[in-house]
Structure 1
């Protein structure tokens, strides 16, 4: 597997643990539907939350949230719609982005954008 894929998977696991520490409950990871993938699906206070995780080794090329473009959002929404129907969910949903940042010293920081799009 390519190094960027390994870093992405590591970032997803870090984000999952961080969100669980904030009271989120894990439902599923790497849910695929056609050409789309949802990194994390969690529940939080009665909401079903679809989370896109982005890793950055710095901000020189931009912030994590800037890399979830219109096309990516549309794919995530389609996959979420399929998942909602699959599990017969009838409560509210939300789409979040979690940026995972590692500085040059290896320190990890998170930036959470709740209700980032839809």
Structure 2
């Protein structure tokens, strides 16, 4: 059963994917799942493979959305990224970005954080 939180997350991911395209990135995959976890968006920025975590919130009571990307979450994202690259048998430069989506008064505010964390 889908929850309001799931719907909010999907809406945030759609907005984030559109922002990626506006910034010139080629979106390769959405919601890439593995036994290690999930990456919201996998994109290409020139020759760089970009793994993007999207965090969506309706307010900042619990902090800004990007603050939810903890060290533990970063490690999961790294594991999924390494699995993805091994599966493709590719060694290209990678980058880890975060898109923070805040829904305030029904309007989305997006913040793109490039190089949010390192491998």
CA contact (8 A) 2:50 2:95 kept: yes
Q: Which has the higher strand share?
A: 2
**CA separation in 1, counterparts of 2:44 and 2:109?**
22
**CA separation in 2, counterparts of 1:25 and 1:114?**
15
- 1:56 Cα deviation after fit: 1.4
Q: Which residue pairs with 1:98 in the alignment?
A: 99
Q: Secondary structure at the match of 1:65?
A: helix
- 1:60 Cα deviation after fit: 2.1
TM-score for the superposition, normalised by structure 1? 0.94
Matches within 5 A, 1:63-74: 63-74=64-75
Aligned length: 117
Q: Secondary structure at the match of 1:114?
A: strand
**CA separation in 1, counterparts of 2:19 and 2:29?**
15
Q: Which runs of 5+ in 2 are unaligned?
A: none
CA contact (8 A) 2:41 2:53 kept: yes
- 1:35 Cα deviation after fit: 3.9
Superposition CA RMSD, Å: 1.0
Q: Which runs of 5+ in 1 are unaligned?
A: none
Q: Which residue pairs with 2:113 in the alignment?
A: 113
Matches within 5 A, 1:39-54: 39-54=40-55
